[in-house]
Amino acid sequence: GAGVSQSPSNKVTEKGKDVELRCDPISGHTALYWYRQSLGQGLEFLIYFQGNSAPDKSGLPSDRFSAERTGGSVSTLTIQRTQQEDSAVYLCASSWEGPSYGYTFGSGTRLTVV
């Protein structure tokens, strides 16, 4: 597609439930990133996928967070047993090969845990 697409745009979930957030990167972009942004804060790196290499998961805050990327394209970020502190905007970005090529971000998924 023309841009990075994320769904859903908004998600309200009850504490303790699992959620899945989806990202469709720009076609041909081999690198995909997940960040999250809390209200009024900067972006926090979560995970990085590059081609067929093992993902860099160094930013995942706990083992409740996981992500996969199928077929080198679509990615899903899963948060298990959501907590209120997980409430944030989750942003996905893609780029040609790595961060030095510049990111294109999606509009994000606003997650609210009640």
Partner 1 sequence: LAKTTQPISMDSYEGQEVNITCSHNNIATNDYITWYQQFPSQGPRFIIQGYKTKVTNEVASLFIPADRKSSTLSLPRVSLSDTAVYYCLVVDPGANNLFFGTGTRLTVIP
Q: DSSP labels for 19-65? A: EEEEEE--TT--EEEEEEE-TT--EEEEEEEETTSPPB-TT--STTE
Q: What's the min distance (Å) between Cβ of 74 and partner 1?
A: 17
Of the pair 28, 40, the CB lying nearest partner 1 is at 40
Q: What's the min distance (Å) between Cβ of 81 and partner 1?
A: 26
Q: What's the min distance (Å) between Cβ of 16 and partner 1?
A: 27
Q: How far apart are the first and last CA of the chain?
A: 33
Q: What's the min distance (Å) between Cβ of 56 and partner 1?
A: 4
Neighbouring CB atoms inside 10 A of 28's CB total 8
Cα–Cα distance between 11 and 80 in angstroms, integer? 14
* Residues at the site binding partner 1, with contacts judged by CB under 8 A: 4, 33, 35, 40-43, 45, 48, 50, 56, 58-59, 91-93, 98-100, 102-108
Of the pair 41, 78, the CB lying nearest partner 1 is at 41
Cα–Cα distance between 46 and 11 in angstroms, integer? 19
Of the pair 91, 113, the CB lying nearest partner 1 is at 91
